[in-house]
């Protein structure tokens, strides 16, 4: 079957399911998008890797990467191989000096590992035709939006820089890395404005 390469174009709150996120994968050099509903933990794991954040202790997907690397296993690629009753199925293609192995994986975990290893993500063309959407807006930025806190995001503009830094410390201690991204972006925006 023909595989199509995808890239992460958005990570946001899922409109269709409460307390869930959607990772939107876009066809490389194409207009089609593949939205996949994932859990909050997995969204956070993907966001941390996308934003190059370094938690004080390794998250589960960081641990998995460290474990694989320590034993000489590299993640070569991830591909979405099936769609059954709205659930995507994926495979991790791993290799060592002696062997190549395909391992079954939840798609959200596969994406979180792909981001950490910097390996490509693919989907079979029939799955993209079945579940993909066409988008005219190819240049969507990668961003993360918290699930239950849209009002608080807007309130960030009302906080002082000192309050933002304190809030950032607080959410990092709670390991809410998705919320931390928004706060950090607001701090960076204000710091850049001060320099201008």
Could you tell me the residue range of the domain that residue 159 belongs to? 150-195
What is the pTM assigned to this prediction?
0.71
Cα–Cα distance list, 56 to 31, 63, 144 (Å):
38, 13, 21
| Local confidence band at 152 (pLDDT 50, 70, 90 cut-offs) | very low
Residue 43 resides in a domain: yes
Asked if 51 and 178 count as a contact pair (C-beta separation under 8 A), the reply is no
Q: What is the C-alpha separation between 158 and 166, in angstroms, rounded?
A: 14
* 105 inside domain: yes
Residues 95 and 32 in one domain: yes
Strand partners, 33: 26, 133
Are residues 91 and 8 both part of a single domain? Answer: yes
Say if 144 falls within a structural domain.
no
Q: How many domains does the chain have?
A: 2
Q: Is the same domain home to 62 and 12? A: yes
pLDDT of residue 142: 39
Dump pLDDT digits (tens) for 96-135: 999 999 999 999 999 999 999 999 999 999 999 988 887 5
Identify the CA nearest to 84 among candidates 109, 101, 107: 107
């Amino acid at each position: 079957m023909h595989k199509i390469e995808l890239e992460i174009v958005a990570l946001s709150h899922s409109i269709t399911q409460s307390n869930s996120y959607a990772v939107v994968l876009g066809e490389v050099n194409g207009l089609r998008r593949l939205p996949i509903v994932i859990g909050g933990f997995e969204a956070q794991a993907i966001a941390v890797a996308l934003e190059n954040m370094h938690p004080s202790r390794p998250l589960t997907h960081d641990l998995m990467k460290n474990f694989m690397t320590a034993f000489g296993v590299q993640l070569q690629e991830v591909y979405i191989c099936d769609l059954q009753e709205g659930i995507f199925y994926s495979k991790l293609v791993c290799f060592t000096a002696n062997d190549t192995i395909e391992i079954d994986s939840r798609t959200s975990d596969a994406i979180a590992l792909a981001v950490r290893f910097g390996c490509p993500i693919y989907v079979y063309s029939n799955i993209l035709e079945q579940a993909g959407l066409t988008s005219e807006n190819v240049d969507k930025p990668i961003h993360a939006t918290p699930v239950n806190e849209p009002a608080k995001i807007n309130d960030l503009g009302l906080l002082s820089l000192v309050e933002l830094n304190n809030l950032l410390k607080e959410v990092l201690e709670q390991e809410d890395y998705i919320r931390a991204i928004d706060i950090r972006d607001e701090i960076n925006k204000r710091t850049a404005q001060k320099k201008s």
